[in-house]
Amino acid sequence: MVSKALPNSAVIALIGTGAMGAGIAQIAAAAGHPVKLFDNRAGAAAQAVAGIRGQFDKLAAKGKLTPEAAQAAGARLVAVEALSDLADAALVVEAIVERLDAKQQLFCALEEIVGDDCLFGTNTSSISVTAIGSALQRPERLAGLHFFNPAPLMALVEIVSGLATEPRVADILFATAAAWGKTPVHTRSTPGFIVNRVARPYYAEALRLLGEGAADCATLDAVMREAGGFRMGPFELMDMIGHDVNFAVTRSVWSAFYNDPRFTPSLIQQELVDAGFFGRKSGRGFYAYRDGAVPPQARSEAPQPLPAAIVVHGESALARALSERLREKNIQHVRGEATDGRIAQIDDAVLFLTDGRSATQRAAANGIANTLLIDLALDYAKATRIALSAALGCADSAVAAVVGLLQALGIEVARFADVPGLAVMRTVAMLANEAADAVNQSVCSAEGADAAMRLGVNYPCGPLAWADAVGLPVIREVLANLAQFYGEDRYRISPLIQQKVFAGKAFHEH
């Protein structure tokens, strides 16, 4: 049977009319449903209705809705005083306090009120849908319907199936979310679902890089934005989310996976939480936000002269982009075919793409003292800043030659301490590793994982598509080298990445 979205005539009930519940009610009313709102705090539901009507009026004032449509959508919202007023609901979405017992009690009470066909959705971001369902007489009608904040603007909805969720129910919710203009993605009820699990390395690797003195926050943020193409760097993003919230999510995913070292929380973030430095909302996090606070600048290398001799080697994406940018600037260079993986020789410096080893480790292995490593970029043709590291023992003149070359191409250079994997490469490898494990453990499909990260947290590219573009053997090698360097299980390679490499396949075959 083909599942269908709930018809516009179906009554949608929202319970818990805070930030998320009100946002979801707005979406359902805009899509044409009668929407009933209930909150156990007196006056909260009525206040939410007034707030949503105000949003519709604003959209009308901006020309995004006709005044008639705004009026009609607002008129479809009703605040109710008692749960018993929700008897005619076709779907009840719960966005109350994030507590298992409260959510179980609510759905148990609803089972006595609503009809047999009524579906239940929970907007929980961290509680097991299976566990919520365990208290119900009919857990098969419950699924997670996980919106992202702010719900009216964020496209992603995770449709979360618990162990008892009937596939038909997940399919109806999927079709309904799509009919509301969202991009739904199926997932299973596992810790963090997709987004809150796969995103962990974005914060964790940055915190580790900071802890190891790779660079300061402003420089790391700038590299992730300008080379990685991420909308926000990890430190400014954590400051925005709030360290209390971000740290709690990390802790909850970590403990739900029985303290898997993949997710080990950071002492640096623990200390911010201990200090009450929650980020923007408390006036201080990694950065200061009080009036008059001056944001720190990213550090860039001082200007260096253009080097004399430039040889670009091989046909990698990086080598081709370097060559192209040199041509655009009319900078003389020659092409070479060295077989040791070098990207370029610049005067007496030899430049490689990071492979997850430190520059010093690599210099020792290849016998080239003047070994320098460059980071991954989303698009080398457009990157305006990049991280660079040099082997201990590399001559200052060799560093200056590479810096001078990159500067001549319009690229700011962030010189990092000699940490393995630099910033973008290490982060992308770990994001892809986590997404691969989620796929391998049947949490979601590769397409679902990528869509979730693009639409739930605005990544410039899905991690698996990105890993395909870099080359899975390269990603595998980076992870293997990080695992070897640190000797930590955190960097163990996903079995699915291993198998894809053995089979010579990509996540997305074209």
Residue 66 lies near ligand NAI (rule: CB under 6 A): no
Task: Label the pairing between strands 91-94 and 385-390.
Answer: unpaired
* Number of residues this chain uses to bind ligand NAI (CB under 6 A): 22
CB of 459 to ligand NAI, least distance (A): 17
158 carries an active-site annotation: yes
User: Looking at 94, 158, 236, 412, which residue is catalytic?
Assistant: 158
Q: What is the DSSP letter of 259?
A: T
CA angle 458, 316, 227 (to 5 degrees): 30
Residue 95 lies near ligand NAI (rule: CB under 6 A): yes
Residue 84 lies near ligand NAI (rule: CB under 6 A): no
DSSP class per residue in 12-68? EEEE--SHHHHHHHHHHHHTT--EEEE-SSTTHHHHHHHHHHHHHHHHHHTTSS-HH
User: Looking at 33, 94, 123, 125, which residue is catalytic?
Assistant: 125
Closest C-alpha among 48, 242, 159, 233 to residue 445: 159
Residue 21 lies near ligand NAI (rule: CB under 6 A): yes
Residue 96 lies near ligand NAI (rule: CB under 6 A): yes
Residue 123 lies near ligand NAI (rule: CB under 6 A): yes
Closest C-alpha among 237, 195, 222 to residue 377: 222
User: Looking at 128, 196, 323, 433, which residue is catalytic?
Assistant: 196
366 carries an active-site annotation: no
- Long-range CB pairs of 330-334 (<8 Å, 24+ gap) are 331/306, 331/408, 331/409, 334/310
Q: Which of 142/310 has CB closer to ligand NAI?
A: 142
Helix/strand/coil (H/E/C) assignment for every residue in 138-161:
CHHHEEEEEECCCCCCCCEEEEEE
Residue 40 lies near ligand NAI (rule: CB under 6 A): yes
Closest C-alpha among 6, 190, 222, 168 to residue 93: 6
Q: Stretches 14-22, 204-212, 310-318, 488-496: which one binds ligand NAI (CB under 6 A)?
A: 14-22
126 carries an active-site annotation: no
CA distances from 387 to 59, 284, 412, 488, 501 (A): 42, 27, 9, 24, 27
Q: Which of 10, 12, 14, 16 binds ligand NAI (CB under 6 A)?
A: 16
CB of 461 to ligand NAI, least distance (A): 23
Residue 244 lies near ligand NAI (rule: CB under 6 A): no
User: Looking at 123, 128, 146, 252, which residue is catalytic?
Assistant: 146
Q: Stretches 26-34, 36-44, 165-173, 288-296: which one binds ligand NAI (CB under 6 A)?
A: 36-44
Sequence-ordered list of residues with C-beta below 8 angstroms from that of 245, at least 6 positions apart, any chain? none
508 carries an active-site annotation: no
Residue 223 lies near ligand NAI (rule: CB under 6 A): no
Give residues in contact with ligand NAI (CB under 6 A).
Answer: 15-21, 39-41, 44, 95-98, 102, 106, 123-125, 147, 149
Q: Hey, which residues are catalytic here? A: 125, 146, 158, 196
